[in-house]
Structure 1
C-alpha cells in the first residue's frame, strides 16, 4: 500500500514540529506533504496538495478547527483532531473524525490512529476497485467489442456474447452464447490481458470465463463452475481464493 499523504494543521509551531517529528519517526506509513498554522492556510494546502489525512488542532485563534469543514464542502480526506481539551470530543465525532488525540500526544495512541486510517484507506481502495469492476461488468461491457483475427480478416464481436475461452496450445477456442465457437491464433494469456477490464477471470490454466455467464459455483478442493451454456469448468486450487474473493465482492 502507498503511504498516507498527510498534513498537520496547528497554530502553535512547537506543537506542529512535535507531531511532525513523531509521525516521521514512528509512523512510516505516513507521507508528510504539508502543514498549516490556521484554517485559511489549511484550506489552501488541502486544495493544492489533496491530502488523504489531516491532523487538525481544534483551538486556534480567529477560527477553530471545526470552521475548516464550513470552507471545504467536498471533503475527500480523513480527519484526526488533536487538542489539549477533551470537551470537543463529541463535536469532533459529529464531524466524522477518525480519532481524537489529546495533547501531549501519546506515541502508541498515535500509531494506533495511523493504523486505523491505513485500514480505512485500504477498504476505500477496494471499494473503488470493485466499483470499477462492476462498471465494466454492467452496461459498458454490453457495448464493448474485441477484434478477432481470422483467415478472412478481423471479426468484431461483443464481449458480452463471449461465455468462455479455452486454451488449445498456441490457439484459443472462444465459446459464444447460442453455441457458436471460434478458434483464434492467439494464446489464452493474450485474451486474459485483453479482457481483464471486461469482467473476465482466469480460473484455470486452460479456462478464462466471463463473470456475466457464471450460473453456479460448486465447492470442492478447487471447486467447479457451471456456466450459462451448461458447461462445467474446474477451478484450479491455485486460482480458487482469487476467484472466490471476486465473486464475494460482486455479490
Structure 2
C-alpha cells in the first residue's frame, strides 16, 4: 500500500530534508510535489489531490493554518511539521492533529505516516482536522470549543465544560466527565495543563487538574482540599495552595 503526498514549507532545505527522510524511512510515501509558500501549496493541493499533506505552520505572509481555512475541502490526511514554540501549536494539540517537531525524528515520522495511512485506508472523514478549523474559526467563543481526546479505541471530542477533572496515571490520564463517565487517555497529565489553563482549569496537585466551574467548596480540614460538585474530593499540594485559593477568590 502506498500514499501520495505533497510537502509545504517556506524553507527549501526543510523540504529537501523531509523528502530525503521519507525516501529512506517511509518508501510507501510517494512525494508528488512541494511548495515554499501557502499560495503555491494551495494550488498544488487543488491540482494534485494528494492523499497526505505535510504542512509547516509558520510561513511568511500566510500561515499553514490560514492555508487550511481557505481550502474548499479537507479530503486528505495532514501532518504538521513545525517547531514546538511556533504560533498555533496549542490549537493543533487541542484538536489532536498529528505534528512533527523539527528536527524530525525518523521514528516519529514513521509513526505519523503509519497512522495517516491507517486513517486513509479506513476512508474515514478527518474529524480532527475539521475540529481544528472549527476551533480556529470560533476562537472568541471558548464555550463552543471541543478538545480531542485520544483513547486506545477512539478519539473523543468533548466541550471543556463537560470535563470535571483530570487525574494522572503515570503516562496516561483519566478524564472524569459531568455524566459520570471516566475516560482513559493515552497522554500524561502535563500535556493537558497548558491546553486547558485558558478554559478555567487549574493544576492543584502533581496528579490533579480541576475545572474551576465544578468546584463546590474549599475544605480547610487536613491541610485543605477541594470538594467537587459530583462529590469527589481532590487534594491540594502545599506548593499549589496559594494559586488555588487565588483562583477561587480568597
TM-score of Structure 1 vs Structure 2, range by shorter chain: 0.3 to 0.5
Q: Which has the larger radius of gyration?
A: 1
Q: TM-score, normalised by structure 1?
A: 0.47
Q: TM-score, normalised by structure 2?
A: 0.47
Between Structure 1 and Structure 2, the one with more helix by share is: 1
